[in-house]
Chains A and B, each alone.
Chain A
Amino acid sequence: MSTLSRADVANLARLARIEMTDQELDDLSTEMDVILTAVARVQEVATSDVKPTSHPLPLRNVVRADVVTPSLTPEAALSGAPANEEQRFRVPQILGEEA
């Protein structure tokens, strides 16, 4: 089936937000070929007349009554934060520097 180049794996790692080492990219491009060949077997029986199933239960949207219930205090919600400031999560900058 399709083979993945090292550049393809590097692009997938970028999309998945993982800064992989050169060694990891090398190893993964080899492993992915083996795994993809094995999993591509699904195509043998997945013909157009078969309906896909995404979930074992017939799901419908579940909503609750719009009433206020107890929730975490700000302190509890922030208790695992790598950094916080003034009852907020402190995060690294998300926009580039404006010129």
Chain B
Amino acid sequence: MIRLSANEMASALAAGETTSEKLTQEHLDRISSVDADVHAFLYVDTEGALSQARGVDTARKNGEKLGPLAGVPLALKDVMVQKGVPTTAGSKILEGWRPPYDATVVKKLKEAGIVILGKTNMDEFAMGSSTENSAYGPTHNPWDLSRIPGGSGGGSSASLAAFEAPLAIGTDTGGSIRQPAAVTGTVGVKPTYGGVSRYGLIAFSSSLDQAGPCARTVLDAALLHEVIAGHDAHDATSIDAPVPQVVRAAREANVKGMKIGVVKELNGDGYQAGVRSRFEESLELLAKAGAEIVEVSCPNFEYALAAYYLIAPSECSSNLARFDAMRYGLRVGDEDGASAESVMNLTREMGFGREVKRRIILGTYALSSGYYDAYYGSAQKVRTLIMDDFTKAFGTADVLVSPTCPTTAFKIGEKANDPLAMYLNDIATIPVNMAGIGGMSVPCGLAPEDGLPVGFQIMAPAMQDQRMYSAGAALEASLLTEWGAPLLSRIPALGGAK
């Protein structure tokens, strides 16, 4: 049962072939048997999940009208607050904290009858591309346990690839949904900025952060997307417009006549040979399915990474000022006569990890008087240029495509001491966040040289998220015909697994 898609699980539940309690228990058993090796979860909410599952079973028995994913389990990234359940964002500064409220996304999941299994590992405050920056130790890629599962949402992507959950929630500030999806052979979607509420999402960089669905199939991602999307009065940046019809697009999987623009600047030098060859093959399949492939140029994308590493740290230095040891979280050095300032200084020193401190210092510098125009101000101008590039490109193409990442998953520890090399991972995913548009990563095969998954990125204009689901589902269907079975059927069995 655990290897089915979420949609298939939902059908089995609706047909009475199993119960949510049984399905949830199967996933909890799988977590017990493999998570010591994978470490996708920071907290498993066994009792909460089973009680939620029983509630859905009872409602079904009573003939209540249920949502399309009711009773299906899900893994929640630990950056989303869930009432009464330990929430850390991968940081020691929040160790043991139990939020007094639910994020809007969590509220919607609960209302839809989706069973929350637990909280997944992540880079501290979502800052990283490997999950190595988690204060609670790294997550391992189920394809090869010595490799990273991507980041920051490596726990969510790994839980899907390890069949610990069929659905997960991620958040994407510079690629934290799409890059983990790419390196684990799963599907990850960053919706249009403002498409999904940020209320209860622990903020890293507010103008870039966006929550979205993670799954093993494009249709599953679409079903989850429609559950969590929509306007929210609690989020002033939430878009007050109808949710794009992504489920319909995923079901139709139609690219006939669609113009697909290959971004010239997001390919070539610096991209691994196997990543490029899988990407090229996918383009051919899309052309065969009826799409028209064109080339587009976005010359300012080469400045996106530099601009991102000014804007995100600047916003984070402001957002993380809330961790002041006063109202919640860690407090260190609160002895008789200690000043509030010394308690703050000590708590933040003890509570934050290396990468978080690095970005706070960088952001504090970029925003400081005398340097603001040269750094933060210039980065904001680059943001305009990137948006202009997208506007022009979408004048010729309906969607834009590129490899999601320049390489497949690297080894744990390989880039841990070289922040710049680590940042380069996000080179193809960052432009999407800068412009606030939608982006998706779909698995497109294994690189021949290392046998590791490659991701195909699809980008669509703001509030046209359905276009990436059309293209993603079409590519997925063509690849399935080629392979005869989903990519994840080729994943090696995990050591402790039955």
Please give the residue numbers on chain A whose beta carbons come within 8 Å of chain B beta carbons, in ascending order. 2, 4, 9, 12-13, 15-21, 24, 28, 31-32, 34-36, 38-47, 50-57, 59, 61-62, 64, 72, 76-77, 79-83, 89, 91-94, 96
Contact = CB atoms under 8 A, between A and B. Distances in A.
B204 interface: no
Interface of A (DSSP majority class) = loop
A92 B344 CA distance: 10
A40 B349 contact: no
B317 A19 contact: no
Interface residues of B, number: 71
A17 B341 CA distance: 7
B32 interface: no
Nearest to B378: A46
Nearest to B343: A92
B466 to A, nearest CB: 19
B361 A12 contact: yes
A18 B377 contact: no
B309 A39 contact: yes
A47 to B, nearest CB: 8
Contact of A31 (B237, B337, B378, B419): B419
Contacts, number: 173
A76 to B, nearest CB: 4
A62 to B, nearest CB: 4
23 contacts: A2-B371, A12-B364, A16-B361, A18-B345, A19-B348, A20-B357, A31-B358, A38-B420, A42-B310, A45-B382, A46-B382, A50-B381, A52-B381, A56-B193, A56-B194, A56-B435, A62-B236, A80-B327, A80-B328, A80-B329, A82-B328, A93-B338, A93-B340
B14 interface: no
B351 to A, nearest CB: 10
B378 A94 contact: no
A48 to B, nearest CB: 9
A41 B364 CA distance: 19
B129 to A, nearest CB: 15
